[in-house]
Amino acid sequence: MANVTDSFSRTQGGLGGRFAALVVDLRARLARRRIYRETLRELNTLSERELNDLGLNRSVIRRVAWQAAYEV
């Protein structure tokens, strides 16, 4: 009986570990998505002149936001 209980508790620990990893991954994805949305919003509020000062134009705003969030 002790052997069955012991193997069951290890399985639960493994499942708990997987769930914890899933939660950590989800939080990281949400944080990256938040960075993307904030960067996109901030760049879209800039005028053409401000974008030109940064060396950007409107056609590259999404790419720049994506790079800021996902190419770390």
Contact call for residues 68 and 35 (beta carbons, < 8 A): yes
Count up the domains in the chain and report the number: 1
pLDDT above 60 for 11? no
Residues 62, 59: Cα–Cα separation, whole Å: 7
Residues 37, 29: Cα–Cα separation, whole Å: 12
Q: Residue 12 belongs to what domain range?
A: 2-70
Report how far residue 30's alpha carbon sits from residue 55's, in angstroms, rounded to the nearest whole number: 29
CA distance from start to end of the chain: 50
pLDDT (0 to 100) of residue 4: 52
> Using 50, 70 and 90 to split pLDDT, how confident is the model at 14?
confident
Q: Give the separation between CA 52 and CA 26, rounded to whole angstroms.
A: 36
Residue 12's pLDDT band, with cuts at 50, 70 and 90, is low
Give the model's pLDDT for residue 13. 63
